[in-house]
């Protein structure tokens, strides 16, 4: 048969040929333009994704970086200290707005002055008895701005300074005021009238406690308790005085904690005695030990916010924190918690922050250091003067500082130190928290107490994230991969068209619904039927294998009645029957083997035999519940991707293997799985990423306890759930707020690294098996 060429000799034929050529040319130009447009659109989409990911990373980085910046100070005032130049400065204080400071002098003068200029605002002379002189000072209640002055007449005067803010024409004016909480007349501490060389006082709602070391080497413990009448509301005072043993060396420092329960007596040589004074009539010596290195003296002593720990400064510049612990016999003992980076000269004064576990220290060489105890972090060390420093006053918000040197020059500094409690060590290492018997990982971001020590360890949250993902993958991967293999390679096409969409549509189920069902239905049901659930993991595989074996032992006539690829339908009644049988037998087995309750049996140490003393605590919302619920959410993702990869294996490879004599199982293991391994691996990695980032299921089904335990019967708290729970209540720009962003960044980096490694491995596998 020959082809007759088109006749193009006539004008009509030539016109038709020209139109055809024009149409073809236009079509190809359109296709080329469309291809370029799609190529550009894909490129723009890819670049946009990269920009979006980079933008997310940069946003997280911007929010996180401030928590790792060191403290900084900026001088805002430099002048001669106001007040009498010849008087000795006993105390410096700065009010909350950093506008007014107070100088307490040993001549009885209180000088309030402007922090920026040094201009005197008000001077108050204390009402001292005739011929009495101030010889000692004690900060009685820093939060209420109360201090005590010891006199050479054996008396103590309690003074409080307060500040009132008024606004006129939008201008704030702060007016200082001086009060005498226990009256303008001093309180007699020593009836013998001896000079009170050393003094410690603590004020509370129920009264005051005073400890004084007299000139004739006596230690007096005086407690004055308020007694209020319920009928007349008159206030009376009950006084109790006890004489304590005087140390063998000179007393250098006295300190009472804020609860008026512990007394610390420091003597020359770096020795410290700890007394329990809860019973003021019978104080008890708890411990006597050296708190400085050999040859060094204790030169500064302060109580850390909360009153559980004390801060010790030594003549060799060393700084340390000591705290009280209870041993196995419930006896209290003091131990050194941590050392801090030392200053260069003898420590002169330590001033704790009022609301955080930080403190400021100065030395005789003009050095100043800002520290945080929990983070064990040195935030700033700087020489602020060429002269020895004598006094510092820290503002209540710890954002301003007044520093007085040896020649009476005062510098006023502003402090920028918003996140002292955060360090890499506190985030990822074990930390020894106050009242804890040993260092540990702990997350506890808030408390009802103002003296709370924040615990921002991300280690238990990261551990909980990996634990939840592990149990979810442990359940999801075998189910989804095996289901994908059977669906792609052995199931009939008609059945596959129903099964695959049914499983894939499960991915659209909201995880909040799964979490709701897991927390309110699955968790209580599992606690009630724990033995049946555990037996189900054993009985189902055995039952399915036995069913398959029996199926192949049936006569061929019966087996061939079931169309090829529909064998899986036989397993449906098998699974139902096994589940029914296990749940029916579970209570009887539990009654016979575990005294009727497996959960209580696990927690009971009196099991007898080799199990004696062995216990496992069971939390209703635990990792097993999360693994099942999250496995249900992850199965459709892994199944869909893996099934597509298995189904896409070229048929000529499968037919060639079968033609060469390989069995279907050999073909599956040595041909199909190898060829589809990049896709299967990608499916598992995407499922892992899905499990790591899951929020609602772990939020509702884990109990949200940040514990580090591999047990499937214990709960956990994940990074994502922690962010969801605590971000709404976190103060913007606070340390808590930024640590939550750091947790988000850790989650982001984890998924990014896992996905990047997964892609590298997938490309390697694809290249390795592409020649099959």
Show the DSSP H helices in 326-447 as ranges: 424-428
Q: Cα separation of 83 and 765, whole Å?
A: 82
The DSSP code for 119 is -
182 has a pLDDT exceeding 50:
yes
Q: Which two tokens stand for residue 599?
A: 């959960």
- For the stretch 536-544, contacts whose Cβ atoms lie closer than 8 Å and that sit 24 or more positions apart, written own/partner, are 536/578, 536/579, 536/582, 539/578, 539/581, 539/582, 540/575, 540/578, 540/579, 543/574, 543/575, 543/578, 544/571, 544/574, 544/575
- For the stretch 581-584, contacts whose Cβ atoms lie closer than 8 Å and that sit 24 or more positions apart, written own/partner, are 581/539, 582/532, 582/535, 582/536, 582/539, 583/529, 583/532
Residue 229: the pLDDT is: 65
448 has a pLDDT exceeding 70:
no
Residue 22: the pLDDT is: 77
Residue 393: the pLDDT is: 94
Per the model's pLDDT, the better-predicted residue between 370 and 603 turns out to be 370
Q: Band of the pLDDT at 201, cuts 50, 70, 90? A: very high
The DSSP code for 315 is T
Per the model's pLDDT, the better-predicted residue between 128 and 141 turns out to be 128
Q: List the beta bridge partners of residue 409.
A: 80
Q: Cα separation of 164 and 175, whole Å?
A: 5
Measuring CA to CA, how many Å separate 580 from each of 100, 453, 537, 574, 583? 78, 52, 14, 10, 5
**Residue 336 three-state SS:** strand
Q: Find the mean pLDDT for residues 185-204.
A: 92
Q: Find the mean pLDDT for residues 369-380.
A: 94
Q: Find the mean pLDDT for residues 33-52.
A: 91
pLDDT digits (tens, 9 = 90+) for 74-107: 999 999 999 888 899 999 999 999 999 999 999 9
Q: Kindly report the CA angle at 348 between 347 and 354, in degrees rounded to 5?
A: 95
| 300 contacts 292 by C-beta, under 8 angstroms | no
Q: Band of the pLDDT at 1, cuts 50, 70, 90? A: very low
The helix, strand and coil proportions of the chain, stated in percent and rounded to the nearest 5, come to 40, 30, 30
How do strand 409-416 and strand 72-80 relate by DSSP bridges?
antiparallel
Residue with tokens 């009644």: 573
| 235 contacts 211 by C-beta, under 8 angstroms | no
Q: Band of the pLDDT at 609, cuts 50, 70, 90? A: low
Q: Which two tokens stand for residue 756?
A: 């990047």
Q: Find the mean pLDDT for residues 337-341.
A: 94
pLDDT digits (tens, 9 = 90+) for 705-760: 898 988 899 999 999 999 999 999 899 999 999 999 999 999 999 888 888 888 88
Q: Band of the pLDDT at 230, cuts 50, 70, 90? A: low
Measuring CA to CA, how many Å separate 560 from each of 287, 493, 664? 88, 18, 18
Q: List the beta bridge partners of residue 191.
A: none
Q: Cα separation of 136 and 149, whole Å?
A: 6
Q: Find the mean pLDDT for residues 17-42.
A: 85
Mean pLDDT of the chain: 89
5 has a pLDDT exceeding 80:
no
pLDDT digits (tens, 9 = 90+) for 624-679: 999 999 999 999 999 999 999 999 888 888 888 888 888 888 898 888 998 888 88
Query: Which positions ≥6 away from 766 have C-beta within 8 Å?
Result: 678
pLDDT digits (tens, 9 = 90+) for 470-526: 999 999 999 999 999 999 888 888 888 888 899 988 888 888 999 999 999 999 999
Burial of residue 425, with CB atoms counted within 10 A of its CB: 0-12 exposed, 13-18 middle, 19 or more buried: middle
Stated pTM of the model: 0.87
């Amino acid at each position: 048969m020959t082809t007759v060429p088109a006749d193009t000799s006539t004008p009509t034929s030539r016109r038709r040929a020209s139109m055809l050529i024009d149409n073809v040319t236009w079509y190809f130009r359109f296709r080329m333009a469309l291809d370029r447009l799609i190529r550009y659109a894909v490129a723009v989409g890819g670049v946009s994704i990269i920009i979006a990911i980079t933008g997310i990373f940069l946003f997280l980085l911007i929010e996180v970086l401030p928590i790792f910046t060191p403290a900084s100070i900026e001088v805002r005032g430099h002048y001669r200290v106001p007040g009498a130049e010849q008087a000795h400065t006993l105390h410096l204080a700065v009010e909350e707005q950093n506008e007014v400071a107070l100088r307490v002098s040993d001549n009885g003068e209180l000088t309030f002055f402007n922090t920026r200029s040094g201009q005197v605002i008000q001077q108050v002379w204390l009402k001292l008895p005739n011929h009495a002189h101030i010889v000692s000072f004690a900060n009685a209640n820093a939060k209420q701005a109360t201090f005590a002055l010891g006199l050479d007449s054996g008396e103590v005067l309690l003074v409080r300074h307060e500040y009132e803010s008024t606004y006129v024409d939008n201008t704030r004016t702060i007016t200082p005021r001086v009060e005498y909480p226990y009256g303008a007349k001093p309180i007699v501490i020593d009836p013998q009238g001896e000079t009170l060389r050393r003094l410690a006082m603590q004020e509370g709602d129920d009264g005051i406690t005073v400890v004084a070391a007299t000139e004739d080497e006596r230690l007096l413990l005086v407690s004055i308790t308020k007694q209020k009448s319920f009928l007349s509301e008159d206030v009376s005072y009950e006084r109790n005085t006890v004489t304590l043993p005087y140390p063998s060396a000179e007393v250098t420092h006295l300190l009472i904690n804020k609860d008026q329960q512990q007394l610390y007596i420091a003597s020359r040589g770096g020795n410290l005695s700890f007394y329990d004074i809860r019973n003021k009539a019978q104080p008890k010596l708890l411990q006597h030990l050296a708190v400085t290195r050999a040859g060094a003296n204790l030169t500064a002593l302060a109580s850390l916010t909360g009153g559980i720990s004390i801060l010790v400064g030594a003549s060799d510049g060393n700084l340390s924190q000591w705290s009280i612990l209870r041993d196995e016999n419930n006896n209290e003992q003091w131990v050194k918690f941590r050392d801090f980076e030392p200053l260069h000269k003898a420590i002169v004064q330590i001033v704790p922050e009022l609301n955080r576990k930080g403190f400021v220290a100065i030395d005789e060489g003009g050095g100043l250091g800002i520290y945080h105890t929990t983070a064990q972090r040195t935030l700033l060390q700087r020489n602020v003067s060429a002269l020895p420093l004598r006094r510092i006053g820290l503002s209540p918000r710890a954002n301003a500082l007044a520093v007085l040197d040896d020649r009476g020059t005062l510098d006023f500094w502003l402090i920028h130190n918003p996140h002292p409690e955060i360090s890499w060590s506190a985030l990822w290492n074990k930390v020894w928290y106050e009242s804890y018997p040993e260092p540990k990982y702990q997350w506890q971001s808030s408390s009802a107490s103002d003296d709370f020590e924040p615990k921002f360890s991300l280690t238990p949250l990261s551990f909980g994230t990996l634990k939840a993902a592990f149990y979810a993958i442990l359940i999801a991967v075998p189910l989804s991969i095996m289901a994908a293999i059977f669906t792609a390679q052995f199931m009939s096409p008609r059945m596959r068209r129903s099964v695959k969409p049914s499983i894939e549509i499960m991915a659209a189920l909201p995880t909040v619904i799964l979490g709701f069902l897991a927390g309110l239905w699955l968790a209580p049901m599992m606690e009630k039927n724990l033995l049946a659930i555990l037996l189900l993991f054993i009985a189902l595989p055995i039952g399915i294998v036995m069913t398959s074996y029996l199926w192949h032992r049936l006569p061929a006539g019966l087996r061939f009645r079931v169309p090829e690829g529909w064998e899986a339908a036989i397993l449906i009644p098998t699974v139902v029957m096994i589940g029914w049988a296990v749940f029916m037998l579970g209570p009887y087995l539990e009654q016979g083997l575990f005294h009727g309750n497996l959960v209580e049996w696990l927690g009971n140490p009196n099991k007898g035999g080799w199990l004696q003393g062995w216990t496992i605590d069971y939390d209703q919302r635990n990792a097993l519940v999360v693994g099942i619920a999250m496995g249900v959410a992850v199965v459709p993702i892994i199944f869909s991707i893996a099934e597509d990869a298995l189904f896409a294996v070229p048929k000529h490879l499968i037919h060639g293997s079968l033609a060469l004599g390989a069995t279907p199982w050999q073909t599956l293991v040595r041909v199909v799985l190898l060829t589809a391994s990049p896709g299967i691996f990608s499916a598992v990695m995407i499922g892992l990423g899905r499990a790591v980032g899951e929020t609602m299921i772990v939020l509702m089904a884990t109990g949200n306890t940040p514990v580090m335990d591999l047990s499937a019967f214990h709960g956990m708290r994940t990074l994502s759930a922690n962010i969801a729970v605590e971000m709404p209540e976190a103060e913007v720009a606070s340390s808590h707020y930024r640590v939550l962003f750091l947790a988000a960044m850790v989650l982001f980096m984890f998924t990014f690294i896992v996905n990047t490694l997964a892609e590298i491995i997938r490309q390697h596998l694809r290249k390795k098996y592409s020649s099959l």
